[in-house]
């Protein structure tokens, strides 16, 4: 990455606040400008019913053959609960993580029994793992945010698994998103403007903010997406120049950005 040159690019980064510092630093180090406007906020679930559900799932942790962390936030919010009830982790389980960053976060939190799934950058890649093909009579726990895609659990269920969720946080559209976009002066920067999104929800929130702020011209800026699924969503929302990175990881996103440098 040291030879990457992003000079002349103005990148609008839409990730949640806590997830963006590293990528932002790399863009700037490569000569680009980076404007960070979070299009999604992460909030820990605190309702009594949610807390009771989390406690119940964590107390039954030893019943699951596989434990899957969907995101870095899933690791962050699961770890204190698991540490409280399982100071020594159950034996014989496999911990799976989607994405290298999630795997690194899990390893840092002492979930060292990670499988090769740390190389799986999305749910589709995770489902290709040999160990997840025949799941007859297996129980799987997925740590995730509230709501979200159902494909992973549905596919695992069709393969014979009993799948449970432990939902730890919610994803919220920032209340002042449209005002932040309108006040950013992103369209007035010199150079080439490009927008970078990491998820379908961030994309939908961004589009809502663009429409609400009357910034329709932004739909003509190149938009880099982490997958074909999100790219298809972007095209349906009216974005005109959609590029697909090979995955949502920082190296892939930076590589996609580099293709825009003339």
Helix (H, G, I), strand (E, B) or coil at 16: coil
Instruction: Check residues 104 and 7 and name the one with the higher pLDDT.
Output: 7
- For the packed helices 72-85 and 48-59, what is the interaxial angle rounded to 10 degrees? 70
Q: In the structure encoding, which two tokens stand for residue 133, read together?
A: 């093909």
Query: At which of 154, 171, 188 does a domain end?
Result: 171
User: Across-strand partners of 140?
Assistant: 66, 163
Has residue 1 been placed in a domain? Answer: no
Q: Answer yes or no: do 25 and 107 share one domain.
A: no
Interval 27-52: pLDDT, tens = 999 999 999 999 999 999 999 999 99
Strands 33-36 and 241-244: unpaired
The DSSP code sequence of 194-238 is EEE--SHHHHHHHHHHHHHTT-GGGGGSEEEESSHHHHHHHHHHT
> Which residues have CB under 8 Å from 95's CB, separation 6+?
66, 67, 68, 69, 106, 111, 113, 114, 115
Residue-range definition of the domain harbouring residue 249: 9-40+174-258
Q: Answer yes or no: do 27 and 74 share one domain.
A: no
Identify the CA nearest to 97 among candidates 75, 77, 79, 81.
75
DSSP state of 130: G
Identify the CA nearest to 224 among candidates 188, 250, 189, 198.
198
DSSP state of 88: S
Q: Answer yes or no: do 56 and 74 share one domain.
A: yes
Query: At which of 121, 137, 171 does a domain end?
Result: 171
Q: How far apart are CA 58 and CA 197, in angstroms?
A: 32
CATH number at residue 251: 3.40.50.10090
Identify the CA nearest to 193 among candidates 4, 13, 27, 9.
9
pTM: 0.86
Interval 174-193: pLDDT, tens = 999 999 999 998 999 888 99
**Total domain count for the chain?**
2
Q: Answer yes or no: do 64 and 154 share one domain.
A: yes
Has residue 179 been placed in a domain? Answer: yes
Q: Answer yes or no: do 61 and 166 share one domain.
A: yes
Query: At which of 136, 171, 206 does a domain end?
Result: 171
pLDDT value at residue 112: 61
Computed over every residue of the chain, the mean pLDDT equals 91
Has residue 4 been placed in a domain? Answer: no
Interval 101-128: pLDDT, tens = 888 888 887 776 555 444 567 788 888 8
Has residue 2 been placed in a domain? Answer: no
Helix (H, G, I), strand (E, B) or coil at 31: coil
> Which residues have CB under 8 Å from 180's CB, separation 6+?
37, 174, 209
Q: Answer yes or no: do 167 and 252 share one domain.
A: no
């Amino acid at each position: 990455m040291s030879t990457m040159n992003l000079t002349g690019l103005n990148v609008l980064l839409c990730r949640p606040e806590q997830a963006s510092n590293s990528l932002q630093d790399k863009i700037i180090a490569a000569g680009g400008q980076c404007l960070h406007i979070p299009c999604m906020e992460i909030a820990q679930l605190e309702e009594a019913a949610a807390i009771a559900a989390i406690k119940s799932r964590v107390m039954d942790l030893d019943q699951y053959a596989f434990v899957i962390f969907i995101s870095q936030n899933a690791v962050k919010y699961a770890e204190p609960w698991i540490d409280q009830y399982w100071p020594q982790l159950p034996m014989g389980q496999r911990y799976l993580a989607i994405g290298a960053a999630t795997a690194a976060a899990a390893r840092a939190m002492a979930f060292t029994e990670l499988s090769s799934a740390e190389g799986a950058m999305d749910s589709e890649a995770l489902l290709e793992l040999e160990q997840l093909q025949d799941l007859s009579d297996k129980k799987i726990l997925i740590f995730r945010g509230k709501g979200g895609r159902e494909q992973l659990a549905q596919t695992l269920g069709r393969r014979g698994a009993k799948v449970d969720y432990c939902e730890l946080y919610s994803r919220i559209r920032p209340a002042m998103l449209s005002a932040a976009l309108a006040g950013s002066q992103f369209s007035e920067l010199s150079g080439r403007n490009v927008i970078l999104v990491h998820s379908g929800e961030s994309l939908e929130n961004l589009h809502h903010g663009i429409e609400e702020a009357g910034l329709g011209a932004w739909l003509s800026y190149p938009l880099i997406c982490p997958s074909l699924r999100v790219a298809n969503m972007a095209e349906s929302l009216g974005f005109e120049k959609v590029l697909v990175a090979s995955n949502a990881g920082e190296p892939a996103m930076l590589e996609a950005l580099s293709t825009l440098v003339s």
